[in-house]
């Protein structure tokens, strides 16, 4: 056997703590059929009071989001975590990389809990540190060491963020990718960006927001020597896009946009920038989860929408806005399976354990990784203004 870079573990099984796929939950969980789960979660949260702060990403289930003290996209949640120094415990209802970022941004006395360790992110798993280091060496061998600035999407593991901190790079989210790229291109004369790990966010931002051409973007395949790119293509590229994608957003298809336009006259197509370029170019509006919510909230009654992002969020928007006609952009795209790992039994187990003084599923980034990742995260938090897509 050769490499352990990409262990193919069935979700939640086996032992691979360094993988975003996580490990099986070790806890003695309450049964999902327990009719008292809501009351138990409420009682545990009340007992903890201000000692606990619960963050909920927009893709979380209803049964969980009702207990969030604040909901948001990954950028907002990162800032909210950093702004709560008094909370002893931060319970992160989201996925592993988000809980890692919260741990990095909170004070050492604060403990971050992810109710199910198997709540990883398949996109984050597509860029492993060993692969990125190999790519960096190959770029240096190609004579590009002095011109490449690494930019990583928030949806990446802490060690990838640390890599960016070490190499003069920055973190971005779907709501500030344009500002982060502008910053990166301003760092060096003739700068190129190595964009990790979501090729779609990188391409969509470069082409649709920054006016680059598709030819300015090349895709680095970590499974091929030299990324599978001829030297002259690398030399001419401005954006070197890592070959990663979101397994949920990557499934929205351009044909469905065309079909919906035929069957829903006047529909406004609103998608997340993790969708493929062919989908995004057919959309009327593109933006982060926070942007999508604000766009719907601001629209007049009777507006027709087809929304391409995670189903929990779209379903909630449709329920909260009966005065508008809100459709999901696909018949077959499912919930994000890892976001959905956080359910009420896991939340109750995590909160009740805290009440008894036991911290379960603590997410703790090692100090060296934390220090370097914080450099890249802080550069993001210090970026001027926000994109219009937040
Ligand atoms: P945002 O929360 O930044 O919009 O990202 C969406 C996502 O896929 C999170 O996993
Ligand atoms: Fe990862 Fe996509 Fe799920 Fe977000 S929606 S956690 S990017 S797999």
Distance CA 228, CA 230 (A): 7
Q: Give the pLDDT of residue 373.
A: 97
Ligand 2 pocket test: which of 75, 95, 153, 271 has the largest number of ligand atoms within 8 Å of its C-beta? Answer: 95
Residue 97 Cα to ligand 2 midpoint, Å, equals: 10
Q: Give the pLDDT of residue 82.
A: 85
Distance CA 116, CA 74 (A): 18
**What is the arithmetic mean of pLDDT over 148-162?**
97
Region for 189 from its dihedrals, namely left if φ exceeds 0, alpha if ψ lies in -120 to 50, beta otherwise:
beta
Is a pLDDT exceeding 80 seen at residue 25?
no
Residue 74 Cα to ligand 1 midpoint, Å, equals: 6
Residue 12 Cα to ligand 2 midpoint, Å, equals: 16
265 annotated as belonging to a binding site for a ligand = no
| Greater pLDDT, 286 or 387 | 286
Q: Give the pLDDT of residue 1.
A: 35
Cα(first)–Cα(last) distance of the chain, in Å? Answer: 45
* Contact indicator for 326, 9 with CB cutoff of 8 Å: no
Q: What does the pLDDT look like over 161-183, one tens digit per residue?
A: 999 999 999 999 998 999 999 99
Of the ligands numbered here, which is closest to the C-alpha atom of 247?
2
Distance CA 364, CA 101 (A): 10
- The model's confidence at residue 388, banded by pLDDT at 50, 70 and 90, is very low
Distance CA 190, CA 193 (A): 10
- The model's confidence at residue 19, banded by pLDDT at 50, 70 and 90, is low
The tokens of 197 are what?
């790990």
- The model's confidence at residue 3, banded by pLDDT at 50, 70 and 90, is very low
- The model's confidence at residue 123, banded by pLDDT at 50, 70 and 90, is very high
Residue 249 Cα to ligand 1 midpoint, Å, equals: 10
Q: Whose CA is nearest to atom 1 of ligand 2?
A: 121
| Greater pLDDT, 218 or 80 | 218
Residue 338 in contact with ligand 2 by CB distance below 6 A: yes
Residue 95 in contact with ligand 2 by CB distance below 6 A: yes
Domain limits, the chain: 1-30+248-335, 36-120+340-366, 129-246
Q: What does the pLDDT look like over 188-218, one tens digit per residue?
A: 889 999 999 999 999 999 999 999 999 999 9
Non-local CB neighbours of 158 within 8 Å, separated by 6+ positions: 97, 100, 101, 104, 365, 369, 370, 373
Is a pLDDT exceeding 80 seen at residue 223?
yes
Q: Which CATH architecture is the domain 36-120+340-366 placed in?
A: 3-Layer(aba) Sandwich (3.40)
Ligand 1 pocket test: which of 272, 275, 293, 341 has the largest number of ligand atoms within 8 Å of its C-beta? Answer: 272
Of the ligands numbered here, which is closest to the C-alpha atom of 173?
1
Closest ligand 2 atom to the C-alpha of 198? 7
List the Cα angle 299/300/304 in 5-degree steps.
75
Q: Give the pLDDT of residue 38.
A: 97
The tokens of 26 are what?
């070790």
| CB contact burial 11-35 (16+ within 10 A = b; e otherwise) | ebeeeeeebbbbbebebebbeeeee
Q: Whose CA is nearest to atom 9 of ligand 1?
A: 74
* Contact indicator for 273, 280 with CB cutoff of 8 Å: yes
Is CATH 3.30.200.100 the right assignment for the domain spanning 1-30+248-335?
no
Is a pLDDT exceeding 90 seen at residue 7?
no
| Greater pLDDT, 390 or 312 | 312
Residue where the block lists tokens 């937040």:
390
Ligand 1 pocket test: which of 95, 171, 244, 288 has the largest number of ligand atoms within 8 Å of its C-beta? Answer: 288
Q: Do domains 1-30+248-335 and 36-120+340-366 have the same CATH topology?
A: yes
Residue 337 in contact with ligand 2 by CB distance below 6 A: no
217 annotated as belonging to a binding site for a ligand = no
**What is the arithmetic mean of pLDDT over 89-117?**
94
Residue 355 Cα to ligand 1 midpoint, Å, equals: 30
Residue where the block lists tokens 């030819």:
215
**What is the arithmetic mean of pLDDT over 355-384?**
95
The tokens of 390 are what?
């937040």
* Contact indicator for 97, 156 with CB cutoff of 8 Å: yes
Q: Give the pLDDT of residue 378.
A: 92
| CB contact burial 114-133 (16+ within 10 A = b; e otherwise) | bbbbbbbbbbbbbbbbebbe
Q: What does the pLDDT look like over 332-367, one tens digit per residue?
A: 877 999 999 999 999 999 999 999 999 999 999 999
Q: Whose CA is nearest to atom 2 of ligand 2?
A: 246
Which fold is adopted by the domain 129-246?
Rossmann fold (3.40.50)
Closest of 20, 251, 185, 282 to residue 195, by C-alpha? 185
Q: Give the pLDDT of residue 386.
A: 52
| Residue 77 half-sphere exposure toward CB, CA atoms < 13 A | 35
Q: What does the pLDDT look like over 33-61, one tens digit per residue?
A: 999 999 999 999 999 999 999 999 999 99
Q: Give the pLDDT of residue 187.
A: 95
| CB contact burial 291-328 (16+ within 10 A = b; e otherwise) | bbbebbeebeeebbbbbbbbbbbbebbbeebeebbbbb
Q: What does the pLDDT look like over 259-297, one tens digit per residue?
A: 999 999 999 999 999 999 999 999 999 999 989 999 999
Residue 101 in contact with ligand 1 by CB distance below 6 A: no
The tokens of 72 are what?
């948001």
Closest of 61, 59, 85 to residue 72, by C-alpha? 59
């Amino acid at each position: 056997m050769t490499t352990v870079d990409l262990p193919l573990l069935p979700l939640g099984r086996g032992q691979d703590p360094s993988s975003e796929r996580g490990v099986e939950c070790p806890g003695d969980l309450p049964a999902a059929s327990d009719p008292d789960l809501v009351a138990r979660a409420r009682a545990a949260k009340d007992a903890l009071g201000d000692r606990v702060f619960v963050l909920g990403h927009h893709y979380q289930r209803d049964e969980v989001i009702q207990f969030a003290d604040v909901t948001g996209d990954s950028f907002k949640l990162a800032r909210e975590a950093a702004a709560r120094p008094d909370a002893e415990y931060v319970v992160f209802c989201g996925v592993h990389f988000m809980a890692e970022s919260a741990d990095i941004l909170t004070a050492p006395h604060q403990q971050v809990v992810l109710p199910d360790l198997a709540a990883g992110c398949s996109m984050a798993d597509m860029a492993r540190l060993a692969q990125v280091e190999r790519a960096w060496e190959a770029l240096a061998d190609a004579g590009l060491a002095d011109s490449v600035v690494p930019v990583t999407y928030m949806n990446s593991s802490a060690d990838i963020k640390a890599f960016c901190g070490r190499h003069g790079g920055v973190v971005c989210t779907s709501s500030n990718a344009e500002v982060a790229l502008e910053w990166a291109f301003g760092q060096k004369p003739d700068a190129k960006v190595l964009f990790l790990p979501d090729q779609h966010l990188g391409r969509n931002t470069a082409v649709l927001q920054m006016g680059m051409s598709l030819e300015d973007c090349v895709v680095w395949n970590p499974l091929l020597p030299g990324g599978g790119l001829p030297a002259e293509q690398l030399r001419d590229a401005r954006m070197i896009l890592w070959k990663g994608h979101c397994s949920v957003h990557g499934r929205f298809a351009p044909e469905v946009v065309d079909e919906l336009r035929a069957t829903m006259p006047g529909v406004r197509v609103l998608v997340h920038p993790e969708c493929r370029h062919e989908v995004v170019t057919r959309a009327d509006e593109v933006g982060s989860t926070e942007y999508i919510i604000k766009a719907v909230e601001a629209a007049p009654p009777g507006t027709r929408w087809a929304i391409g992002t995670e189903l929990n969020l779209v379903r909630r928007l449709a329920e909260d806005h009966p005065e508008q006609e809100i459709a999901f952009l696909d018949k077959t795209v499912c919930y994000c399976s890892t976001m959905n790992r956080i359910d009420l039994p896991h939340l109750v187990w995590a909160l009740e354990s805290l009440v008894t003084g036991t911290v379960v599923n603590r997410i703790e980034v090692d100090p060296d990784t934390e220090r370097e990742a914080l450099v890249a995260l802080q550069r993001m938090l210090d970026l001027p203004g926000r994109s219009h897509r937040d």
